[in-house]
Chains A and B, each alone.
Chain A
Amino acid sequence: MDQRLRSVIIKFFKKYGRTIIIVLIIWIIILTINFFVGKIDTEIKVDTNYKPHEAVMENGEVPENLQDPIEELIGQFVENCNNKDYEAAFNLLSDDCKKNVYPDMELFKMYVDTIFNTKKIYNIQNFSNKDNRYIYTVNILNDILASGLNGEEDDDVYSEKYVVFEENGELKLSIREYIGRDELTYMYEDDEMKIRIESVDRNYDYISYNLRITNKSENYIVFADYSEDYEIALETSEGFKRMANDVLETIDVMDGETKEFNLKYTIFFDEDTKINDMLFDYVRIYKDKESYENGEKPIDDFGIKIMF
């Protein structure tokens, strides 16, 4: 009986042994995987609508390694302003911002005293990113947790854009939506005049050209008095002209005089528009200023195009 049983069992395993082993191996693999997967700690994703580093404009991302430093930089700036530590706050600004927006420390103090008239809290939201410049909308408001929204102005929120970028290996801040200045060397010269486009200041929602114009003649020259559209316009890659923003002063130069002018155009920093040239469409030469004021016809009028 035993011998028969042994023989049957042996025959059985000879016939099905390989299948049994394969099944056993698969079973052990599944158990092992199940065991290790069960040991993995699944990170719970915390639900929040506050995602300060997700760009509103959906153009580019803030690198992960910069997110915390950017928050710290803006936090430090706000803290310094709250504490009226003007120097410390000023030192967090970029060189261009210090030089061109706040050339005078008193101006900066005035900004701080106006915006941070009481203790403020803030929140940030990444707005746009371009050319390694990270633009954040910063909302500054009264400390509502301390006041419980019981203050008259607690519902007021002051909003502006801060630009963060690396300068000399350090993260710096540019406030009041100012991006920076590019030095330029565009020029036009003839016997009567010299036009130099010396630099351009970039803000988030406009650019501003700084011009120096010399009148080499003995006549009076008018470059723009806004009697016509597009007297000084930018020609862009879009194929049409951009008109200067409203300017109150006439752009004119007396004989032998050199004057500086500033021309603003609405061009957003994150636009892909390329500027091809600046067009002075209606340059007029008068005998003198009196002739111009009397409505006399100019001696000469012409256009000038300065290619970029």
Chain B
Amino acid sequence: MKNLDKTVLALFIILLVLTVATIYVYSNKILYPRINNEAIAKEYEEELKREKPDIITVTEKKTPEDEKLNLKSMSETDRVHKYFMEYINNVDLGNYEKAYSYLYPEFKQNYFADFATFENYVKTTYPEYMIIQYEDISMQGKYYILTVVIYDAISQAEITNAREQRFIIYENDFGDFSISFQI
């Protein structure tokens, strides 16, 4: 009799714990309930997508807000490098209009009054395949001066193709920058 009482009690406690655990797991959606009916399952999945879109779209492009947060959490040097790479990658990929849009307006006016001049400059100045080496970074107040050496990736042994250039980067806001450079 006593053994039976203890067994019952133990079972009761186990049942209680399982009940609490189930409620917790379900309320935090750690495990989803299994639904056998296909129609209901499909409707449930769509409901889930609406509730938690980021679970389904985790591989999609980050929102501007996410990008901003990402930039904010970066070190200053990394941010400057990112901005520079944003510009030079567009040059490298032939997205000259995008690269042109990053130029500081007064700098554009002074040196590349029209897009064709800029396009001609980058085509004749930069090799088709580039290697970038960061040499130095300095600041004048809020202006970053980045010194890089750009090598021709194909003939990198020929140092005559290495070009040291200074780029001036100004961060208007996170993700929004202006750039100019030594010609």
Contacts and interface: CB of A to CB of B under 8 A. Distances in A.
Given A144-B140, A149-B166, A48 B8 contact: no
Interface in A8-64: 8-9, 12, 44, 46-50, 52
Contacts of A47: 74-76, 79
Interface of A is mostly: mixed
Interface stretch (B84-92, B102-110, B153-161): B102-110
A44 B73 contact: yes
Interface residues of B, number: 31
B82 to A, nearest CB: 13
Contacts of A146: 104, 106-107, 110, 180
Interface stretch (B34-42, B44-52, B127-135, B141-149): B141-149
A122 B168 contact: no
A121 interface: yes
A122 B143 CA distance: 10
A46 B174 CA distance: 10
B93 interface: no
Q: Interface on chain B toward A: helix, strand, loop, or mixed SS?
A: mixed
Given A9-B12, A44-B72, A145-B168, A123 B142 contact: yes
Contacts of A9: 9, 12
A123 B141 contact: yes
A47 B80 CA distance: 11
Given A44-B69, A145-B104, A145-B106, A124 B9 contact: no
Nearest to A157: B140
A143 B140 contact: no
A50 to B, nearest CB: 6
Interface string B11-25: 010000000000000
Given A49-B139, A139-B140, A150-B183, 9 more contacts: A8-B5, A8-B8, A44-B73, A121-B141, A144-B143, A144-B168, A145-B104, A145-B180, A146-B110
17 contacts: A8-B5, A8-B9, A44-B73, A47-B75, A47-B79, A49-B139, A121-B140, A121-B143, A124-B141, A144-B143, A145-B104, A145-B170, A146-B104, A147-B180, A149-B168, A149-B180, A150-B183
